[in-house]
Structure 1
Amino acid sequence: MTVTMWNASDVAERVVNQRPLFILDVRNEDAFADWKIESPSFEYKNVPYFDLLDGVEELVTELPKDKEILVVCAKEGSSEMVADMLSEEGVDAAVLEGGMKAWSEHLEPVKVGDLPGGALYQFVRLGKGCLSYMAISDGEAAVIDATRMSDVFVKFAEEKGAEIKYVFDTHLHADHISGGRTIAEETGAQYFLPPKDAEEVVFDYEPLKDEDTMQIGSVKLDIQAVYSPGHTIGSTSFIINDEYLLSGDILFIDSIGRPDLAGKAEDWVGDLRETLYSRYRGLSDNLMVLPAHFMDMKEVNEDGSVKRQLGKLLEENHGLNVKDENEFRRMVTENLPPQPNSHQEIRETNMGKITPDTERKREMEIGPNRCAVRG
């Protein structure tokens, strides 16, 4: 049998459509336990590659005969060798091209709504839980919270016949490397950062302030900045066209943002509560919340998007319904997951203080999303 190579798009299609798949992950047990390709419709078996060097005869008996099988490793090489061994035993198994590194970088664009003269798109990074956005109106575009795969956004705008005019980051990211500055340099767009998050950056940027309003397209699509500290001291949300609330890492579908990625949990927890319980509750319940991350595949809708109405989240999100302030403080400071991998190095990269090469950037970002508080 010939070993079939699947790219990340092939796997993403099965994730979004919840198609069954059996994944044989041949990374070490700790790597698998920390992070894997997530889908409620997938089955998994983790057998480290080095445990298979003497043969796969016993493994064959444990593999399904009625499901597609995908072999996964970190970079591709080990999984390809295992798939070859399985093929010799009569088992047809595909290999994830580029391994988990490729899965971490894949972006799936999803249209989340219409805008005057255009549309709003969400770029879903299934392997990392990151969400980026592009608003297009009358041939002009704004990009919000872009990942480092800047070419994806530039190419997408070109395909839609739009010129990128503005690039925004809602805050200084600590879990992934921003592509905002690179996109601005490549397209001539203006790059905006909240100034309270940019005190240590070593490059030029446009300061993004509360109630700043940007317009793109001849129909004057309105993008309004809303200061919303708590995840970071400068965190800023966006309201687009009085319809969408881009909440950055302040509010997620099933959780809220953590305030400790700069070591300021005790200092910033009060800001987080003020944003969630005062600023956000003063906004329209009809706003569609579009966060910068998701934590779990159950937060992904059937169309592949991640979005919920603010009014619904105010009712259902536990982090928005803790009446006692001391209880809220305990919940936020005592339910913090491990820090994101290389978070300080990522912050310094986003400040422009260090410039790792591409391979190092990939290594820095490997792992799950860890931007949320679990209630």
Structure 2
Amino acid sequence: MSEYPQASGAVDAVSPDELADRLRAGDPVSVLDVRNRADSEAWPLSGETVTTYHVPYYRFVEANVNGTVDSLGKEVREALDEPIVVICGRGEASAYVAELLEETGVDAANLDGGMRGWARVYHAVEVDVDSDATVVQYQRPSSGCLAYLVVSGAEALVIDPLRAFTDRYVADAREEGAELVAAVDTHVHADHVSGVRELARETDAEVLLPRGARERGLAFDARLVEAGDAVAVGGAELDAVALPGHTTEMLGFELADLLFAGDTVFLESVARPDLEAGDEGAPDAARRLHDTLSTLDDDRRIAPAHFSDAARPDESGAYVARMSDLRERLRALSLSREEFVEYVLDDMPPRPANYEEIITVNLGLDRVDDDESFELELGPNNCAATRAVDAD
């Protein structure tokens, strides 16, 4: 039974996919967040065109008891342009608040499923590539995670898949007339539960991981890949390249001029170096990351594993950029080695929620079911170094 007073069901609802479409279109969106302040600040529903106002749910309960809902509705109307989307964790408290606001004359709708519903939004965009292969970029706006489907002939592989969306990769490959033959992780992820093993169980896909994952404690069977290896899919080949820094084992995969770069460099930032190395080892990891970034050719097009609200997609809607453009855009890429270390480590965000447990799960040292997996990774993208977002 819900802990929240039940809304009548008459209030309008906005689906997470509908909200995502509005944000991609650049429409202004007014958000009333009724979660507690800590949750609201730690994991906002954010976007370039989003304006958010926070009023905790308990204030609406008190106002309803005291007969002061009209006053609270006036406060919200003065803070936000209408219509207003009300959000909470699961869509229950927000439904109740949206109904109270509607009764005061505020044009309000509830985000169906709340932030957990928002976490299930997964958008796909085709990426231009100088190859006969088809490349699809998957975008999860709630956490900024990016994954990729590469299709060539009757075969497909997926790079950095999320466990929450394994069925989607299989279905999309089949829509392209292909079957998944491989599921690849660029590194041991710390922000989401990998889908490589689930895909292997659901299909005949082979699991591919960097060889260095074994040194980190990998506890399940996989094909171990190292720099210089080629991964075949249909008539295409992806060449593995070493990209140490964010983690010691990080590999990128080259397809024509496109580099699937994992958590190395993003369109608005560079990777944080402390999730494997810890605070003590972060400076040396940052030096390795600087050295890695220095070797990337200007003509290389970067297909990263994350994006944030500060990132701007290309004309197709994909988060891909040429390395030369990133060098012009990101201050971090113009710094000397030691300047880079200081800059990156100076103001990093909190580490991803549950990152140590997620790493343990992704190494196969622990098991979680689908519901536990989904709960573990709820939250924002914290795999980037915050200060590096400050572009020139």
2:220 to 184, 203, 206: 203
SS at match of 2:119: helix
Name the structure 2 match of 1:312.
325
Q: Tell me if the contact between 2:287 and 2:338 (Cα under 8 Å) persists in the aligned partners.
A: no
Residue 213 (1) aligns with residue 221 (2) = no
Residue 91 of structure 2 is aligned to residue 76 of structure 1: yes
CA distance in 1, matches of 2:31, 2:286: 40
Q: Distance in 2 between matches of 1:85 and 1:303?
A: 41
Matched residues in 1 for 2:340 and 2:58: separation? 46
- Count of residue pairs the alignment pairs up: 367
Distance 1:18 1:302 in 2: 14
Is 2:286–2:344's contact at 8 Å kept on the other side of the alignment? yes
Q: 1:140 to 1:83 in 2, by over 3 A?
A: same
**Pairwise CA distance, 1:372:** 1.3
| Residues 107-166 of structure 1: CA deviation (Å, up to 9, x unaligned) | 111111256444211001111011100111112111001112212212221222221111
Displacement, 1:232? 0.4
Q: What residue identity is the alignment partner of 1:359?
A: D
Aligned to 1:272, the other structure's residue is in SS state helix
Query: Could you tell me how far 1:46 is from its partner in structure 2?
Result: 0.9
CA distance in structure 2 between the aligned counterparts of 1:311 and 1:213, rounded to whole angstroms: 26
Call closer, same or farther: CA 1:30–1:350 in 2, change over 3 Å: same
SS, match of residue 23 in structure 1? strand
CA drift at 1:32: 1.0
Q: Is 1:11 equivalent to 2:3 in the alignment?
A: no
Alignment partners' CA distance in 2, 1:104 and 1:320: 32
The corresponding residue for 2:282 is: 265
Compared CA separation, residues 188 and 321, structure 1 to 2 (3 A): same
Q: Does residue 137 of structure 2 align to residue 89 of structure 1?
A: no
Q: CA deviation at 1:267?
A: 3.4
| Aligned residue number for residue 340 of structure 2 | 328
> Does 2:104 align with 1:104?
no
Equivalences for residues 74-153 of structure 1 within 5 A = 74-114=89-129, 116-149=131-164, 150-153=166-169
Alpha-carbon distance change, 226 to 39 in structure 1, aligned in 2, over 3 angstroms: same
2:192 corresponds to which letter in structure 1? H
CA contact (8 A) 1:230 1:259 kept: yes
Q: CA deviation at 1:20?
A: 1.4
Query: 2:82 maps to which residue?
Result: 67
Local SS of the residue matching 1:247: strand
Picking from 354, 357, 362, the partner of 2:366 is 354
Q: Say which SS state the counterpart of residue 355 (structure 1) adopts.
A: coil
1:139-178 equivalences under 5 Å are: 139-149=154-164, 150-178=166-194
* CA-to-aligned-CA distance 1:32-59 (integer Å, 9 cap, x gap): 1112111221221111111110333223
Identity %: 35
Contact 2:227 2:241 in 1 (8 A): yes
Once the two structures are TM-superposed, the CA of residue 14 in structure 1 deviates from its matched residue by 1.1
Give the 3 Å change call, closer, same or farther, for CA 96–301 of structure 1 in structure 2: farther
- TM-score, with length taken from structure 1: 0.92
Q: How far 1:93 moved relative to its partner?
A: 2.0
Cα contact 2:299–2:322 (8 A) shared by 1: yes
User: Whole-Å Cα distance in 2 between the matches of residues 147 and 191 of structure 1?
Assistant: 14
Q: Give 3-state SS (helix, strand or coil) of 2:146's partner.
A: strand
Question: Following TM superposition, by how much is the alpha carbon of 1:68 offset from its aligned partner in structure 2, in angstroms?
Answer: 2.5
Using a 3 Å threshold, how does the CA distance of structure 1 residues 315 and 115 change in structure 2: closer, same or farther? closer
Which of 238, 258, 269 is the matching residue for 1:255? 269
Equivalent-residue separation in structure 2 for 1:312 and 1:50 (angstroms): 47
**What RMSD in Å do the two structures reach over aligned CA positions?**
1.9
Structure 2 residues without counterparts, runs of 5 or longer: 1-8
Q: Equivalents in 1 of 2:118, 2:59: separation in Å?
A: 24
* Contact 1:24–1:47, Cα closer than 8 Å, also in 2: yes
Distance 2:57 2:81 in 1: 24
Cα contact 2:126–2:316 (8 A) shared by 1: no
Match of 1:46 among 51, 54, 63: 54
- Cα contact 1:115–1:137 (8 A) shared by 2: no
- For 1:337-373, what per-residue CA distance to the aligned partner results, in whole angstroms no more than 9, with x for missing partners? 2111111001001011112233332332122111112
- Give the counterpart letter for 2:111 in structure 1: L
How far apart in 1 are the matches of 2:308 and 2:341?
21
Q: Any residues of structure 2 matched to 1:239-254 within 5 Å, and which? A: 239-240=254-255, 242-254=256-268
1:255–1:318 Cα contact (<8 Å) kept: no
> 1:337, 1:44 → 2: CA distance?
21
Amino acid at match of 1:9: D
Once the two structures are superposed, the pairs formed by residues 353-372 of structure 1 within 5 Å of their partners are 353-372=365-384
Which whole-Å CA distance do the structure 1 matches of 2:103 and 2:330 have between them?
Answer: 51
TM superposition score normalised by structure 2: 0.89
Partners of 1:222 and 1:317 in 2: how far apart?
31
Q: Distance in 1 between matches of 2:301 and 2:132?
A: 19
CA distance in 1, matches of 2:243, 2:52: 40
TM-superposed deviation, 1:315: 2.5
